[in-house]
Amino acid sequence: MRQFLLYISIILVGLLFISRLFYLQVYTSSEQSLFEDNAIRKVYDYPKRGFVYDRNGKLLVANQPSYDVMVIPREVKPLDTVEFCNLLKINKEKFKEIYQRAYRYSPRLPSVFIAQLSKEDYAVLQEKMRKFEGFYIQKRSLRHYQTTIGANVLGDIGEVNHAIIRKDPYYKMGDLIGKDGVEASYEDVLRGVKGIKFIQKDRFNRNIGPYKDGIYDTLPQPGKDITITIDADLQAYGERLMQNKRGGIIAIEPSSGEILAMISAPTYNPNQLVGRERSKNFSKLYTDTIAKPLFNRSLLAQYPPGSPFKVLNALIGLQERVVTPQERFSCRMGYYLGSRRLTGCHHHTSPLDMTNGIAQSCNAYFANVYRRIIEKYDSPKKGMDVWSDHVKSFGLGNYLGYDLKVGSKGRVPDGDFYDRWYGKGRWVSTYNISNAIGQGEVEATPIQLANMVAAIGNRGYFYTPHIIKSIENDTVDSKYTTPKFTSIDKENFEPIIQGMYDVYNKGTASFIRVPGIEICGKTGTAENFVKIDGVKTQLTDHSIFVAFAPKDNPKIALAVFVENGYWGSRFAGKIASLIIEKYIKGEITRTDLEDWILKHSLEHEYAKPYSGKPFKINGETTLQVIE
Partner 1 sequence: MPRETHKYFKFDWITIILFLMLVGFGWLNIVSASHTEYTIDYFDFSQSYGKQLIFIFLTFGLIVLLLAIDAKFYERFSSIIYIISMLSLVGLFVFGKNVNGATSWYGIGGMTIQPSEFAKTATALAVAKYVSDLNTNIKTFKDQIKTFIIIGTPAVLVLLQNDTGSTIVYGAFFFVLYREGLPKIYLNIAVALILISVLSLKFGGIITSIIGASLIFGYYFLNRRKTSFVLTILAFIATVAISFSIKFFYNSVLQPHQKDRISLWLRLEKDPEKLQRMKQTFAYNLNESEKAISSGGLTGRGYLEGTRTTGKFVPEQHTDYIFSTVGEEWGFIGSSMVVILFVLLLLRILHLAELQKSQFSRIYGYSVASIIFIHFFINIGMVMGLIPTIGIPLPLFSYGGSGLWAFTILLFIFIKLDSNRINEW
Check binding of 25 to partner 1 (CB under 8 A): yes
Q: How far is the CB of 220 from partner 1 (least distance, A)?
A: 24
Q: Are 439 and 306 in contact (CB under 8 A)?
A: yes
Query: Going edge to edge, which strands form the sheet with 258-265?
Result: 258-265, 247-253, 556-562, 535-549, 520-532
314 by DSSP, 3-state: which? helix
d(CA 205, CA 370) in angstroms, rounded, equals 76
Q: Are 247 and 297 in contact (CB under 8 A)?
A: yes
Check binding of 3 to partner 1 (CB under 8 A): yes
Check binding of 43 to partner 1 (CB under 8 A): no
Selected binder of partner 1 within 45, 80, 202, 477 (CB under 8 A): 202
Site string for partner 1, 134-163 (x = CB under 8 A): ------------------------------
Check binding of 409 to partner 1 (CB under 8 A): no
Q: How far is the CB of 212 from partner 1 (least distance, A)?
A: 8
Q: How far is the CB of 218 from partner 1 (least distance, A)?
A: 18
Nearer Cβ to partner 1, position 24 or 337? 24
Check binding of 200 to partner 1 (CB under 8 A): yes
**Cβ-count burial of 31 within 10 angstroms (0-12 exposed, 13-18 middle, 19+ buried)?**
exposed
Q: Are 366 and 436 in contact (CB under 8 A)?
A: yes
d(CA 352, CA 152) in angstroms, rounded, equals 43
Selected binder of partner 1 within 9, 221, 283, 482 (CB under 8 A): 9
Residue span binding partner 1 (CB under 8 A) among the ranges 8-16, 368-376, 431-439, 556-564: 8-16
| Integer CA distances (angstroms), 317 to 250, 263, 304, 436, 509, in order | 27, 33, 21, 11, 24
Q: Which residues inside 204-243 make contact with partner 1, applying CB under 8 A? A: 208-209, 211-213
Residue span binding partner 1 (CB under 8 A) among the ranges 34-42, 63-71, 109-117, 327-335: 34-42
Check binding of 203 to partner 1 (CB under 8 A): yes
Check binding of 35 to partner 1 (CB under 8 A): no
Check binding of 478 to partner 1 (CB under 8 A): no
Residue span binding partner 1 (CB under 8 A) among the ranges 6-14, 57-65, 167-175, 364-372: 6-14
d(CA 613, CA 624) in angstroms, rounded, equals 18
Check binding of 107 to partner 1 (CB under 8 A): no
Neighbour-count burial for 75-103, b at 16+ CB within 10 Å, e otherwise = ebeeeeeeebeebbeeeeeebeebbeebe
d(CA 459, CA 431) in angstroms, rounded, equals 31
Q: How far is the CB of 109 from partner 1 (least distance, A)?
A: 16
Selected binder of partner 1 within 35, 39, 128, 585 (CB under 8 A): 39
Residue span binding partner 1 (CB under 8 A) among the ranges 84-92, 200-208, 253-261, 618-626: 200-208
Q: How far is the CB of 106 from partner 1 (least distance, A)?
A: 13
Nearer Cβ to partner 1, position 214 or 344? 214
Check binding of 591 to partner 1 (CB under 8 A): no
Check binding of 29 to partner 1 (CB under 8 A): yes
Q: What is the DSSP letter of 279?
A: H
Quickly list DSSP for 185-216: HTHHHHH-B-EEEEEEE-TTS-EEEEGGGGTT
d(CA 153, CA 149) in angstroms, rounded, equals 9
What's the half-sphere exposure (Cβ side, CA atoms, 13 Å) at 257?
24
Q: How far is the CB of 198 from partner 1 (least distance, A)?
A: 9
Question: Which residues form the interface with partner 1 (CB under 8 A)?
Answer: 2-3, 5-7, 9-11, 13-14, 16-18, 20-22, 24-26, 28-32, 37, 39-40, 200-203, 208-209, 211-213
